[in-house]
A and B are shown apart, each in its own frame.
Chain A
Amino acid sequence: MASNAAVPFWRAAGMTYITYSNICANLVRNCLKEPYKTEALTREKVHFSIATWKEGKPEKPVIRSDTPEE
């Protein structure tokens, strides 16, 4: 047997659940009326600092600030 149950189409295409869930959430947010839409778009903003580690030591962290439009 190749699989116990049919995998969802998005997983078959190589997408993870978290990507699927975030896409669904973005689609719903884009269909909201104002003022809820502008409030919701603030939830899409991400701001984080990322540091890659090499040989047990962190390199210089990079700050990433992504807006909803990629």
Chain B
Amino acid sequence: MVIIPATTGQMGVLPGHVASIAELKPGVLSVHEGNDVTKYFISSGFAFIHGNSYADIIAVEAVPLDRIDAGLVQKGLAEFTQKLSSASTDLEKAEAQIGVDAHSALNSALTG
């Protein structure tokens, strides 16, 4: 089973899942094989669930959680929260919001 960070929330995929495509947001992908769980942080991407119990996860960056530096995450979160409050144009606001979302997700991944 895999739990994917879809834009609509955490989604569990078991063998036999109906074929679908899910857009992913920055978050944790956990792969459960029996009692083993392997977790990866996905930057964004898509999950293609096929009709034959196969699923493909497409991501630009997928890193094991132990490669993430907690200090840099906190720093980034503070920086983008500050940018969000001082942003003026729509584009600046969007970029700052993306920063806040991504760093919050990284933070939850490390603490969750």
Chain B residues within 8 Å of A, Cβ to Cβ: 7, 26, 41, 43-45, 60-61, 63, 67-69, 72-73, 76, 90-91, 93-95, 97-99, 102-103, 106
Contact = CB atoms under 8 A, between A and B. Distances in A.
A25 B43 contact: yes
Interface of A: 8-10, 12-15, 20-25, 27-33, 36-37, 40
Contacts, number: 74
A25 B25 CA distance: 11
Nearest to A32: B67
B94 A21 contact: no
Contacts of B69: 31-33, 37
Contact of A24 (B44, B72, B90, B93): B44
B76 A31 contact: yes
Given A13-B91, A15-B94, A21-B44, A29 B73 contact: no
A69 to B, nearest CB: 16
A14 B90 contact: yes
Nearest to B91: A13
B63 A36 contact: yes
A23 B60 CA distance: 10
A16 to B, nearest CB: 11
